[in-house]
Amino acid sequence: MKVLLIAYEFPPILAAQALRWFYLSNELVDIGVDIHVVCPDISTENAFPMDMDARITIHRVWPG
């Protein structure tokens, strides 16, 4: 199965919604789902404390 996740807040942004998408996408790839995430290319000042699974494909786009 393939899933396209479109999220405005996604790691490395530290926000509650970003953490929800982080945990959901990591759990889905663990059960074999092919995850692609479209999210804005927003730089953050703080480093994200957890590692993203390498099987998640992230497409960062202009946020405007």
* DSSP sequence for 15-41: SHHHHHHHHHHHHHHHTT-EEEEEEE-
- For the chain, what are the domain ranges? 2-61
- Give the per-residue pLDDT at 53: 93
12 versus 4: the higher-pLDDT residue is 4
Tell me the average pLDDT of the chain: 92
**Residue 23 banded pLDDT, cuts 50, 70, 90:** very high
Span between the terminal Cα atoms of the chain, in Å: 30
